[in-house]
Amino acid sequence: MGFSRTRCHMSILEVKNLKVHFPVKAGWFNPKPEFVRAVDGVSLELAPGETLGLVGESGCGKSTLGRAIMRLVEPTAGEIYLKGENITHLKGDPLRSRRRMFQMIFQDPYGSLNPRMTVEQIVGEALDIHHLAGSPGARQKRIADLLRSVGLDPVYAQRYPHEFSGGQRQRIGIARALAVEPELIICDEPVSALDVSVQAQIINLLRDLQQERGMAYLFVAHDLAVVEHISHRVMVMYLGRIVEVADARAIIRKPQHPYTQALISAVPEVNPVVRTRRQVLQGDVPSPIHPPPGCPFHPRCPVAQPRCREEQPVLAEVVSGHWAACHFPGSQPVATACSSADAGIA
């Protein structure tokens, strides 16, 4: 696994060199078929009860990776192991039965709920599919307990999604994911569509549920502040590849990859004393159809050297427990403190 840490228990999830390439149709100006390399060789390991944050710019492949692990998108190559079992090529009933162990919370609390179904039908559907409720009474009680566990009154069970706010809808989505008592939940930017105050409520709810139930989370987000708050470890993704992995505190305090440093410098800081200068990356994200040779980040990297344009760096341990895919890790300071004039203070 390379950057996986030694653990006393079997990993709940292990991904090895996963790739998801989407074909691009050939045309008059593109005679040869090409591929969008949305996920291009990702490996990760997740322990029971752990939260692994996954961050990166929009379009870097975060959500595609989560959906591929859920088998909502077919992987092009690589392997996915759930509690040691290879589920990469499972289909039909065998895959459906394994889905009791892992579920997903989707980014859009509006589009992810069927508007024609009541809350009771939405939450109870998984109970029916997996035959987890022995009687109508037991089913109703189970749904009521699930709604209470996410902070909703069971009297809402007969209402429809359009009668709820965005935060309430996301709570319904969480209750649906909890219905089968999974050991792993993939959270695909579950708070990005919510107001800031509601985001905090949902994050705290997810943390409380994890402490009560011992679930593992793969938490996909683009907000580093949110990821730092909820995650034990953080992975940074760029152009379909992992460029840095470390404990949450280490990756925020001492990032080793220039891309991670730029992401952290963009996090708003209200305290002018510790406010840092923004590291603005030059240019646009390269095309995932034609990624640049060598290091995929070198066209935008402020410390790129000739070697970076020719040789692709491998993910290597640069300090204990801290991995980065960079030829010159840590060569760019995290940021420099602003002076009073820079901060706009007289």
pLDDT digits (tens, 9 = 90+) for 192-242: 888 888 888 999 999 999 999 999 999 999 888 889 889 999 999 999 999
Domain annotation covers residue 333: no
Helix (H, G, I), strand (E, B) or coil at 21: strand
Task: Write down the pLDDT at residue 223.
Answer: 82
Contact 323, 317 (CB under 8 A): yes
Q: By percentage, how much of the chain surpasses pLDDT 70?
A: 88
Are 156 and 283 members of one domain? no
Provide the residue count of the chain: 346
Single out the residue of 122, 15, 138 nearest to residue 77, CA to CA.
15
Position 7 confidence tier, pLDDT thresholds 50, 70, 90: very low
Q: What is the pLDDT of residue 267?
A: 73
- Does the pLDDT value for residue 34 go beyond 90? no
Same domain, 191 and 174: no
**Does 163 map to a domain?**
yes
Going by C-beta distance under 8 Å and a sequence separation of 6 or more, which residues neighbour residue 282? 300, 302
Same-domain check for residues 175 and 192: no
Confidence class of residue 342 from pLDDT cuts 50, 70 and 90?
A: very low
* 129 and 225 belong to one structural domain: no
Looking at the fold, whether 166 and 202 belong to one and the same domain comes out as no
Pairing assessment for the beta strands 34-46 and 77-82 based on DSSP bridges: unpaired
pLDDT score at 211: 94
pLDDT at position 276 is 57
Mean residue pLDDT across the chain: 87
Distance of CA 189 to the CA centre of its chain: 7
Of all residues in the chain, what percent carry a pLDDT higher than 90?
Answer: 68
Nearest CA-CA partner of 14 in 50, 56, 55, 59: 50
68 assigned to some structural domain? yes
127 in any annotated domain? yes
Number of separate domains in the chain: 2
Whether residue 109 lies inside any domain: the answer is no
Cα 120 to its chain centre, rounded Å, is 28
Rounded Cα distance, 234 and 237, in Å: 10
Residue 37 scores a pLDDT above 90: yes
Please report whether residue 84 resides in a domain: yes
The residue among 149, 181, 213 that closes a domain is 181
Tell me the pTM.
0.87
Q: Is the pLDDT of residue 287 over 80?
A: yes
Sign, CA torsion 231/237/241/245: negative
Q: Which residues contact 28 (CB under 8 A, 6 or more apart)?
A: none
Write the pLDDT tens digit of every residue in 156-184.
Answer: 999 999 999 999 999 999 999 999 999 99
Confidence of residue 278 (pLDDT cuts 50, 70, 90): low
pLDDT over 80 at 336, yes or no = no
Q: Is residue 345 part of a domain?
A: no
**Range in 26-40, 133-147, 275-289, 293-307 with the lowest mean pLDDT:** 275-289
245 and 317 assigned to the same domain: yes
305-320 tens-digit pLDDT: 999 999 999 999 999 9
Structural domain containing residue 155 = 116-181
Residues 243, 177, single domain; the answer is no
Instruction: Please report the sign of the dihedral spanned by the C-alpha atoms of residue 113, residue 102, residue 227, residue 330.
Output: negative
Q: What is the dihedral sign for C-alpha 131, 102, 226, 291?
A: negative
- Please tell me the distance from the alpha carbon of residue 103 to that of residue 71, in angstroms, as a whole number: 11
Contact 69, 80 (CB under 8 A): yes
What are the E-state strand segments in the chain?
A: 13-24, 34-46, 51-55, 77-82, 85-86, 102-105, 184-188, 216-220, 233-238, 241-247, 316-319, 322-324
Kindly state whether residues 198 and 91 are assigned to the same domain.
yes
Angle of helix 166-178 relative to helix 196-213, nearest 10 degrees? 20
What angle do helix axes 136-149 and 119-129 make, rounded to 10 degrees?
Answer: 120
Structural domain contains residue 202: yes
* C-alpha to C-alpha distances, 304 to 117, 190, 264, nearest whole angstrom: 53, 35, 19
Show Cβ contacts of residue 193 under 8 Å, excluding neighbours closer than 6 positions. Answer: 107, 108, 109, 110, 166
Q: Do residues 197 and 310 both lie within one domain?
A: yes
Q: Is the pLDDT of residue 338 over 60?
A: no
CA torsion 55-274-249-79 (nearest 10°) is 10
Same domain? For 125 and 45 the reply is: no
Both 157 and 256 in one domain: the answer is: no
- CATH code, domain carrying 21: 3.40.50.300
Residue 193 and residue 317 share a domain: yes
